[in-house]
Amino acid sequence: MRFADTTVSLASDDGITGGVTRFRYWFERAIHVFLFACAGISVLTTVSIVFVLLVESVRFFFDVSVFDFLTDTKWTPLLKPQHFGILPLMCGTLLVAFGSSLIAIPIGLGTAIFLSEYAPPRLRDVIKPLVEVLAGIPSVVYGYFAVVSISPLVRSTFPSAGPFNAASACVVVGIMTLPMIISLSEDALRAVPRSLREGAYALGATKFDTTAHVVVPAAMSGIVASFLLAISRAIGETMAVTLAAGATPKATLNPLESVQTMTAYIVQISQGDTPAGTVEYRTIFAVGLALFLSTMVINLVAQGILSRMREKYE
């Protein structure tokens, strides 16, 4: 009987609940549509950028053969005789990406480990904001810093270095990517549960044992992700690199020479007086495509590594 009563009382409320339900339904729909539109905008933007890149690149490759583009060792689109070999720009980009990682990865990981495992809380509270300030400095300031302080330092150490050289670009980009590595790696390290550390300590592990064998491996996917983001950032960095490394496309791996990266070249042409629609102008789309593809390959490789790692231990 009591059941019946309940049913009846529910039924009598139907008018009100029905109204609420209808309102909720439309509200949920509206939210749904709005979020879908947001997602749609970003997808659309990406697709159209890639589309423009592809179309312009295809037109570029009507004039310049893909083979020349990939194998020629000179990049002189604005000078006679014209050469359209991507290799020098690729070299410059890789040199800066590799060199800056060489600086940023060990220092960044070391700092992250120090902050998360060793530093007393007070010291951490001082260092962390400083690192964040480092992240907020505009890149043109870094470039200027490279020209006025790092480059002279490099030149006094290695007299053969030119006023613009890849080494100072590596140092400055390394410093720029440090905060990213530090804060992301530190987050990953701190996310390792205390219980894991305790498990190691309980077996008679020292702090170093615990950090090296348990905490860092457990945080590895986050740490590697921070490295990759830093490398992507180094590849994409333009302003500081242009100021520090100069604008001399050269197929060299010598960090003391002046080089030009892909991004620096794109800026040079976009800002110059090269008329749009010419093959010289379209080089920037081909270079952009190459840049896009190389970043994509890095991301894919990274995701492969990470998912293999996760598959195994998460």
Cβ neighbours of 222 (radius 10 Å): 19
Could you say which of 196, 247, 269, 279 contacts another protein (CB under 8 A)?
196
Based on the shown chain and the rule CB under 8 A, indicate whether residue 209 belongs to the binding site for another protein: yes
| Least distance (Å) between residue 252 CB and another protein | 43
Q: Does 203 engage in binding with another protein (CB under 8 A)? A: yes
Residue from 6, 45, 65, 206 binding another protein (CB under 8 A): 206
Least CB distance from residue 23 to another protein, whole Å? 44
Could you say whether residue 162 binds another protein (CB under 8 A)? no
Q: How many residues bind to another protein according to rule CB under 8 A?
A: 23
Is residue 80 at the binding interface for another protein, with CB under 8 A as the rule?
A: no
Determine if 115 is a binding residue for another protein (CB under 8 A).
no
| Cβ-based nearer residue to another protein, 135 or 203 | 203
Kindly tell me which residue out of 147, 171, 214, 230 binds another protein, with binding defined by CB under 8 A. Answer: 214
Shortest Å distance, C-beta 190 to another protein = 13
Considering beta carbons, is residue 205 or 267 the nearer one to another protein?
205
Site residues for another protein per CB under 8 A: 121, 193-206, 209, 213-214, 217-218, 312-314
